[in-house]
Each structure stands twice: as C-alpha cells, then as structure tokens.
Chain A
Amino acid sequence: MSANTQQSSYYTEVREGVDDYTTTVHAVLCFAACVLHNGVGFIAGTEFGSGRRMMTSEHNVVQPATVVTPDLVAQKSAAYGIVAEVKVSLPRDRERWREHLEQLRKYDDDLAGWWSEAGTVSSWNAVLLIEQARGRVVVKALEELASERPEMVGPRSAVVEFNRADQANPYLFFRSAYGSISDVELASKLEEGVKIPRDKVLRGFPAIRFYDARPPLELILDTLWPDFFPPLSIGKERDDATGGIPLDVNVDDVSRELQLAYGSGALKRDERSSEFPRRVWVREAFKCLTDLGLAIELEAGSRYKVLFRPFREDVLQTFCEMRAKRVQKRSEPITDQMDLQLEDRPRPDKG
C-alpha cells in the first residue's frame, strides 16, 4: 500500500470512528428522550446522566459493592429507572463479547445512586443498546449464555436494537430485541419501535460532543484546534522560528472548559456525576500535539506551549495525515500501529 493510500485509509477509518462516537452520543441522548420524553418535553421529575457513578449491591454476581458508570442512567419515576450501555460496534473476536454481556449482568442489580432519597428504585432494566446490524448475533450470544450459565443473564436485562437512518432527516430507531421491559408504557413503545429524529436531540442538547467513554483522539484535536486555540491566537504574533503562534495553555483549564462546554457540564450534575472528557484524554491530545511538533511540553503533562497555525485543508484530515506520516517516518508498520491506537476507540469498558 502506498503512503498516500495508507494516509487516506487511516483518515477514512478515523472519520468513521468520529462518526460512530458522535452517533453514540446521540444514541445516549435519543434513548434518554425515548425513556423520559412524553412528546412535548421531558416529563417533570425525570432525570438522566451519562457516566453516573452507581454502586452495585453486595449480592452482585459479577462485582459486588463496586462503582460502575453506565453510559446512560435514566430515571423515569420514583420507582423505575434504566441503566444502559451503548455499542455501535463490537470486536470481531466473539470471546470479547462476553465482557459486554458480563457488564450487562453487572448493571442488572439493585444499584444505588438513583435520584431518590434512598438512592434506589424498586424496578429497573439493564439495557444493552446495540446497533441493529449486530442485534441478532448479540441476542443469540445472550441466549446461549443464558442456557450455559443462567446466573450470568439477569432477569431484568434487555437488548434494544437501534438503527441510525442516515438520510437528509436522520433519525435513530429503537426496538426491543430481547428481554422484558418492566415499564409498561416504555415496553409498548419499544415493542413497536420508536423513531427519534437527531434534529430533536440537537435542539435539546446542541453543544454536547462527548459522553463518558474515550473519544477518538482526533475528535479532541479537532475540538482544540479549530475551537479552543483560535480565540487565544487573536492579536498574538507568529513566531518565525517555529512558524506558529505560541499559546501557553494548561491541561486542567482546557479539560475543565471542554467539560463545561461539550461534555458533562452540559448535563445536569450532582456529586455522583462523572466528568468528561476526562483530563487524561485531553492530556493525551496534548502529547500527540507535542509528538506532531505542534506543541512543546513546559511542565510534565500539565502545561504546554502550543504552536498554533491555521490549517488550509480539513482539520480532521490534516491531523490524520500528520499522524500517519509521523508513524511512517518511524518506519513502523502503519496498520499495526494504527490498530493499536484505534483499539482505544469508543469501547467503553467501565465499571
């Protein structure tokens, strides 16, 4: 494969990864709307959060008394709530699916941390939200697991397939694929299938870009470069030696602002809420900028001098090309290295 083809294929892969991540963010928000929205607005008294810190019970069959952070925790009433994990894609190796099914079992528990006085609800469902293309095989895997090790499939576990209809008016479609949803109204909706237009979600949450799972590194770079750095560069002189406009930035400040603008800060928060994008992900982005010669580390992992310059071409594409070139220069096989990097893609395995 030629160097250009490698760069181009890496860009395609990254762009798909970014798109998958954005779709997952929308799937989380759309499913929250599916559970908590009555067609006019969010039902009064309902709550939801992403990455909310919940505690498993002493009797949890996977990990007792442990903190878990599901992609979505949505409480419809004082009595009923849903915890959900979203998977747009799954690894080829089916053995690794077990991890996800185990995670579902872990969430199918009398979790503590709901928005009630006691912190619990009397009725719940643990839902695996899976992209429709993988729905059937996942359900089959779950059924096999149920017959082999019945204790590993919880009584309130469910699989809901979702399908992204990418058309001029894109929407996400949700439908029950396995299990029984305890809430009658929601069960009936999901039995028939529900369409949630992405436009509606964007109207409600226009700035949310991250959820509580590691985004592709390029998505953070693509937030910092055209959004965070340009305002800092106004009125500053270009440094002839480096060719960039030097910007002194602190990782803590950047992380905090990204959280407020595009992550956890854009949702209702309390002491159990997680903070995302996490500082460690932002720090990795700065390390990457350093590696690409676009930043200089001033204090280990915390303060950087960014050498900002506007990109002529598409920002995401430029970063992909720069990263791919960097790998090629090191004479390392590009595909292996990229695979390793892409391994960290939205494959949240939390809790």
Chain B
Amino acid sequence: MSRLRNSRERRDFDRYLEAAFGSSTAEKLTEHLVDMVVPTPFRLRMKVVFCDENLRSVLGFQASSNEIRVSEAELVSFTIRGQVGTAHRHEVTARAAFLPTEHANVTVAVSVARHEEWQLVLRLFRRRYPALVPIYLAQRELIETVQALSKETDGLGIKVREITAREKLGEDALRRLKSVREWTEESIATVLETAADRRQSFASITLGFYRRAGETLHPAPAAICKISRDAQVQVTGRFAMVWSTAVRRIASIGAAKLASYGHRGLRERKYVAAPLEIRFRSAVLKELADVRQFIDIIGRYPHSMRSVQHGNPYAHVRVADLFDGSSFDIWSLDAQSIAIVPQLRATNASINRLIHYIFDRFREGDVREYTAE
C-alpha cells in the first residue's frame, strides 16, 4: 500500500481520479480501477444498491444543499460537494459512478474516496431512499461472501485483520448487546469459530491478502478488503478479484431478495395476500419477555407509525413505513416465527428495510412464504 507524501501528490491523485471517473463508459472506468493501487487514506469504496428507476433522475431529484453534478456520458457518474463533520464542519467533494451488474436493477456505486467523502455519498443515498434501496446481508450471507472470496485469491494468503460485531453483554444480560471491534491476524475459520462461540453478529469483516513465499506470508498485505453487512465493500487494490467474487455475489443476493419481496401489496395483487414468515432457528418468542422485547423493538422502528393490537403473550403489531406509505401486520403466533402480512401497499424496499431491522435488532432467521401448511 502506498501513501501520498505531500499536497502536490494529493492534487495529482485528485486530478487522476477526476479523469478516471470522467470516463465515458463503465468498461473504461473498470479498466482504471483494475490497475489502481489506492493510496492511504483513500479506499476504493463500493456499495451495492437496488434501483428500478432512472439513476440520473434519482440523483438529480430535489438537489438539497449538497451540490450534485451528474455526468451526461453513458457512464452514470456524479460529483457531490457538501459539508461534513460536526465539531469542525468543512466542505468536501466526492466523485462516484454506478457500475452495472448482471442484474437489471442492481448497481454498484463506486468511488475512490477518503472516509468523510464517502460519508457524503452515503448520506446522499440515504436521502434518495426509497428510490435507491440499500441491500443488507444476513450473517450467513456475509460469511458465505467472505468464504467465497477466500477461495479466489489469485494465490495470495489470506487472514482476517479486523472484525466489528455485536455480542451479548455478559451471560446474564440476555437482552443487552455490546458492540465490539477487534483486530486480529487469524484465519477465517478461527474467527468464525470464535464468533460462533461468542454468538457474535458481524457488522463487517476486514481481510488482508498477503503475498506468499511457500508457506510464509509477507508481513504487509498486498491488499485489504472490508465487507460490511450493508453491502459495502472497500479495497486498497485487487479490484477485479473482489468484484468477480464478493461484489457479484452480493449483487446476486440483493437481486434475489428484492425480487422475492416485490409485488406483495394487496392493491397490486388484486387483494390476495402474500405474507412472509421469518423462521428462527430456535423458539426465540417462547417467553413473555421475548415477546415484549420484540414489541419494544418494533415500537422503535425508525420513520414509522405503529399500533400494538396485542402484546401479551403473543404479538400483533401494525406498522406503517412513512418513507413510502407501505404497511404491514406483524404477528407472532408461534414461538419460532413471525408472520409479516403486507397490507394495501408494500414495496420491496420497505419489506427489505423491515426484515433487516428485525434481523439487526432482534434475531436473524430464514425468510420464506407464509402459507397454509
């Protein structure tokens, strides 16, 4: 990994990025990214998103105080300028582009940026929800993505460098979680084993790729790759390797999820209900305290309206998503599952957001159709 030594080099690198992101096509930008060695503190940052609208219109819609300039070339790229920071507000500029995937409505926002510039891009995406729908990975999907990447390393050695996760705050504290960030140099298998023992739920896993001489690994990584549950991937190099394994995989997961969550509102189905079930691996709603915890969590669902119909000893809550007017009836009539019954309107974005929230704040489970057995 290189480091920019002075302001002149920074200016030059900035000009290089401007030229690269000014490419007319996705193929040309990709060619630049494949060869790019990204100097610290920059990272090649990607976020997989779902969008079934015109990207240019979505980006240009209701431009806020941030100044957005969208390219007119075939490649959808944009420059955004805005304020960041709380104590020391200052202006930054970020460049990003959307690279297509093999799935029609799934695209990858890509940027070479420092942390704060990337935050500006992410903030823009949050403001464009639900037109731009974030993709979320379940724990299992994140682990499978990391494992897939570890099998395609172009002969490089691989170690986990860092994890961020949530785990139980002590054995007695059944319902309280703490966030952990740990640095390590262990193998993926060891980290996964430890995580299973500690019942950790990963937020991100950072891998290091190392050149090897026989069985001996170079001490400095040739590239670093961080994969997060919110479908963000950051690399310092080896773009092609990461794209072809991790990013494509995340795009496929996202496309499949969003497709399965689509067309579930009663209106668009001629009033035939299409409920979903989250099936947990154990009876997580057996005790009244579990049901109360679940209702409490749903009660804090952001940007929503709620109505608790029943809370003891089973749960029945009505939830309206105020982003797009979707609404759901949520039932727990079985200690091991939750039924989500989409109401008059239910977009795939809102189902995706609700399920991710339940996974993130309560428990993860398998999503399937809720039908007569």
Q: Using CB atoms and an 8 Å cutoff, list the residues of chain A in contact with chain B.
A: 15, 18-19, 22, 41, 166-170, 197-200, 202-204, 206-207, 222, 225-228, 230-234, 257, 260-261, 265-266, 310-311, 314-317
Residues facing A in B313-363 (CB within 8 A) are 313-314, 316, 318-322, 324-327, 329, 331-335, 339, 341, 343-345
| CB atoms of A311 and B305 under 8 A apart | yes
Q: A203-B370, A206-B370, A234-B324 are in contact. Are A227 and B271 (CB under 8 A)?
A: no
| CB atoms of B325 and A260 under 8 A apart | no
Q: What are 24 A-B contacts with C-beta separation under 8 Å?
A: A22-B309, A168-B283, A170-B314, A170-B333, A197-B333, A199-B334, A202-B331, A202-B333, A203-B370, A207-B266, A222-B307, A226-B306, A226-B319, A226-B320, A230-B305, A230-B325, A230-B326, A231-B324, A234-B324, A234-B325, A261-B267, A261-B343, A311-B305, A315-B306
Residue of A nearest to B337 (CB): A199
Residue of A nearest to B333 (CB): A199
Q: Is B120 in the interface zone, CB < 8 Å from A? A: no
Nearest 7 pairs between A and B by C-beta?
A: A231-B325, A230-B325, A226-B320, A315-B307, A199-B333, A207-B273, A231-B345
Chain B residues positioned under 8 Å from A315 (CB to CB)? 305-307, 318
| CB atoms of A203 and B314 under 8 A apart | no
Q: Is B275 in the interface zone, CB < 8 Å from A? A: yes
Contact of B291 among A15, A168, A198 (CB under 8 A): A168
CA distance in complex: A314, B371 (Å): 29
Q: A22-B309, A202-B333, A231-B345 are in contact. Are A168 and B324 (CB under 8 A)?
A: no
Chain A residues positioned under 8 Å from B273 (CB to CB)? 206-207, 266
Contact of A316 among B287, B307, B314, B321 (CB under 8 A): B307
Chain A residues positioned under 8 Å from B326 (CB to CB)? 230-231
Chain B residues positioned under 8 Å from A202 (CB to CB)? 331, 333, 339, 341, 370
Q: Is B72 in the interface zone, CB < 8 Å from A? A: no
Contact of A310 among B291, B322, B324, B341 (CB under 8 A): B322
Give the dominant DSSP class at A's interface.
Answer: helix
Chain A residues positioned under 8 Å from B165 (CB to CB)? none
CA distance in complex: A255, B275 (Å): 23
| CB atoms of A316 and B343 under 8 A apart | no
Chain A residues positioned under 8 Å from B321 (CB to CB)? 230
| CB atoms of B307 and A166 under 8 A apart | no
| CB atoms of B339 and A168 under 8 A apart | no
| CB atoms of B373 and A261 under 8 A apart | no
Q: A170-B314, A200-B373 are in contact. Are A260 and B320 (CB under 8 A)?
A: no
| CB atoms of B313 and A230 under 8 A apart | no
Q: A206-B370, A207-B343, A260-B271 are in contact. Are A167 and B325 (CB under 8 A)?
A: no
Residue of A nearest to B266 (CB): A261
| CB atoms of B333 and A261 under 8 A apart | no
Chain A residues positioned under 8 Å from B334 (CB to CB)? 168-169, 197, 199
Q: Is B173 in the interface zone, CB < 8 Å from A? A: no
Residue among B334, B344, B345 with the most chain A CB within 10 A?
B344
Chain A residues positioned under 8 Å from B223 (CB to CB)? none
Residue of B nearest to A315 (CB): B307
| CB atoms of A167 and B324 under 8 A apart | no
Chain B residues positioned under 8 Å from A207 (CB to CB)? 266, 271, 273, 329, 341, 343
Chain B residues positioned under 8 Å from A227 (CB to CB)? 318, 320, 327, 343-344
Q: Is B3 in the interface zone, CB < 8 Å from A? A: no
Q: A167-B313, A202-B331, A206-B275 are in contact. Are A231 and B344 (CB under 8 A)?
A: yes
A251 to chain B, nearest CB (A): 16
Q: Is B310 in the interface zone, CB < 8 Å from A? A: yes
Given A199-B339, A315-B307, 17 additional A-B pairs, CB 8 A? A15-B309, A168-B287, A168-B314, A168-B335, A169-B333, A170-B333, A198-B333, A203-B339, A207-B266, A207-B329, A207-B343, A222-B307, A226-B306, A230-B325, A231-B324, A261-B271, A315-B318
| CB atoms of A225 and B371 under 8 A apart | no
Residue of B nearest to A265 (CB): B271
| CB atoms of A225 and B305 under 8 A apart | yes
Q: Is B286 in the interface zone, CB < 8 Å from A? A: yes
Q: Is B213 in the interface zone, CB < 8 Å from A? A: no
A329 to chain B, nearest CB (A): 24
A4 to chain B, nearest CB (A): 19
CA distance in complex: A22, B308 (Å): 13
